[in-house]
Amino acid sequence: MRNLKMFLYVFLVCSLLNGCKIQFDESNFIEQEINGAIIEIEKNQRGISTITIVNSNSKDTLNYSLYISSFIKESNVKVLDSVSKEKNNHLTSFYRKENGSYKKYAELTY
């Protein structure tokens, strides 16, 4: 019985920490100006995907775990697509290179 309580306690703590990380990623995503290319998309669990973006302005690598798995699937978001978002804005635009130029193909309001 003690092992079961300990397991439930550890499970609860891990779940809370994961939830806090996602909330932090969401607020950080909204606050940042992002202009760059997606270099990795990882589908996690329960509608959460982690996208990794190389910011073209600063060359920083940015990782965000967000509830966007269905958007990624419906919009056919792929690695090497470009992302553009203004600072403190909820609207994110996705671009794909076609015939030598980038064209907007999807928008996400987050």
pTM of the shown model: 0.76
What residue spans define the domains of the chain?
Answer: 2-109
> Which residues, in sequence order, are CB contacts of 89 under 8 Å at separation 6+?
30
What's the topology of domain 2-109?
OB fold (Dihydrolipoamide Acetyltransferase, E2P) (2.40.50)
Looking up tokens 């130029």 gives 101
Q: What is the pLDDT of residues 27-83, one digit of tens each?
A: 888 888 999 999 999 998 788 999 999 999 888 999 998 989 999 999 999 999 999
Q: Is the pLDDT of residue 3 over 50?
A: yes
